[in-house]
């Protein structure tokens, strides 16, 4: 809004428009390829043959035109390299010093460039959950790509077979589920906080959602057959943070559980998240 000569304070609102969410898609075919192609209308969710070319062209224009306009001072080649590095780090903890060494930049510069990329809604730095525990907690945020199609195009993943054989598929699924949940809460106007939780001895919750009096502990697995060990470890982690509910999201075809403890697939999980708007 640099061209506006007077303040619009009190007369404007900021609305975040996400790519299509799974809950907004009209048919099973679109929902079936949503994880691979992401949610951009022209990126493949409506026309499968557009993926990944549309996504690659979109990212190229972002780095050559939009990010420089926003103020990022590096060349498009450096930005494109940073995007590839961030794709490789998807689902991992943010470490600006390590990333800077890989690129030959200092950590302040890498952090500043990533701020621009986050401001362009390409990635999210999910903050760590802090609690008064006797255990040591990991405090660094996690990097998550906000659209799975852009992530997969950057990683060179072009079809479903390549996706499910790629070593990054588990982290990609985690990011996809997180973005579907948080995008849905945003679209419904539900006030919430979102974090992840991890202790130094390996107890972890992929997503902690706080809304009103609710605090949900959510673990995300790509498997179609989660084990009792997965549920037991989630229960232990959820107890540490005083969660009101624990949910294990996977690719199961049959949901099981109750209002306190649930193992389910993505569709049921998003139904439960949408229910927060009614509480």
pLDDT tens for each residue of 157-180? 999 999 999 999 999 999 999 999
- Window from 128-137, 188-197, 241-250 with minimum mean pLDDT: 128-137
Q: How far apart are CA 170 and CA 174, in angstroms?
A: 6
The verdict on residue 4 lying in a domain is no
The average confidence (pLDDT) of the chain is 92
Q: What is the pLDDT of residue 2?
A: 54
Domains in the chain, number: 1
For residues 277 and 215, the answer to whether their CB atoms sit within 8 Å is no
- The yes-or-no verdict on residue 4 having pLDDT over 70 is no
pLDDT at 201 (0 to 100): 83
Could you tell me which of 202, 197, 186, 199 has the C-alpha nearest to residue 273?
186
% residues pLDDT > 90 (the chain): 83
Is the predicted pLDDT of residue 132 greater than 70, yes or no? no
Task: Calculate mean pLDDT across residues 227-245.
Answer: 94
Q: In whole angstroms, give the CA distance from residue 192 to residue 196.
A: 14
The pLDDT assigned to 15 comes to 77
Instruction: Collect all residues with Cβ–Cβ distance below 8 Å to 213 and sequence separation of at least 6.
Output: 244
Domain hosting 80: range is 22-278
Q: What is the pLDDT of residue 3?
A: 56
Give the pLDDT confidence score for residue 139 in this predicted structure.
Answer: 87
**261: in domain:** yes
Q: pLDDT band at residue 278, thresholds of 50, 70 and 90?
A: confident
Do the domain assignments include residue 209? yes
Closest CA to 91 of 175, 22, 26, 203: 175
Task: Outline where the chain has alpha helix (H).
Answer: 28-37, 53-61, 67-70, 76-88, 96-103, 107-119, 148-154, 160-164, 169-188, 228-241, 266-274
Note whether residue 80 is domain-resident.
yes
Rounded to the nearest 5 percent, the helix, strand and coil shares of the chain are 45, 15, 35
Asked, for residue 13, whether it belongs to a domain, the answer is no
Q: Measure CA 232 to chain center.
A: 24
């Amino acid at each position: 809004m640099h061209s506006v000569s007077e303040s619009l304070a009190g007369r404007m609102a900021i609305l975040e428009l996400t790519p299509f969410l799974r809950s907004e898609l009209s048919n099973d075919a679109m929902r079936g390829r949503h994880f691979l192609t992401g949610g951009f209308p022209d990126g493949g969710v409506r026309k499968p043959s557009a993926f990944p070319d549309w996504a690659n062209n979109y990212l190229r224009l972002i780095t050559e035109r939009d990010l420089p306009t926003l103020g990022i001072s590096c060349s498009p080649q450096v930005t494109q390299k940073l995007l590839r590095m961030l794709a490789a780090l998807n689902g991992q903890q943010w470490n600006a010093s390590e990333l800077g060494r890989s690129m030959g930049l200092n950590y302040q510069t890498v952090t500043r460039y990533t701020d621009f990329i986050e401001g362009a809604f390409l990635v999210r730095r999910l903050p760590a959950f802090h609690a008064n525990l006797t255990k040591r907690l990991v405090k660094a945020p996690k990097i998550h790509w906000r659209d799975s199609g852009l992530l997969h195009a950057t990683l060179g993943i072009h079809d479903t077979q390549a996706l499910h054989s790629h070593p990054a598929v588990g982290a990609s699924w985690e990011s996809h589920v997180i973005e579907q949940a948080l995008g849905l809460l945003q679209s419904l106007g539900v006030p919430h906080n979102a974090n992840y939780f991890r202790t130094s001895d390996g107890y972890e919750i992929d997503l902690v959602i706080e809304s009103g009096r609710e605090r949900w502990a959510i673990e995300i697995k790509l498997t179609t057959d989660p084990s009792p060990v997965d549920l037991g470890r989630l229960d232990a982690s959820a107890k540490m943070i005083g969660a009101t509910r624990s949910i294990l999201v996977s690719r199961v075809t049959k949901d099981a559980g109750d209002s306190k403890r649930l193992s389910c697939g993505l569709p049921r999980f998003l139904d439960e998240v949408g229910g927060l708007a009614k509480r």
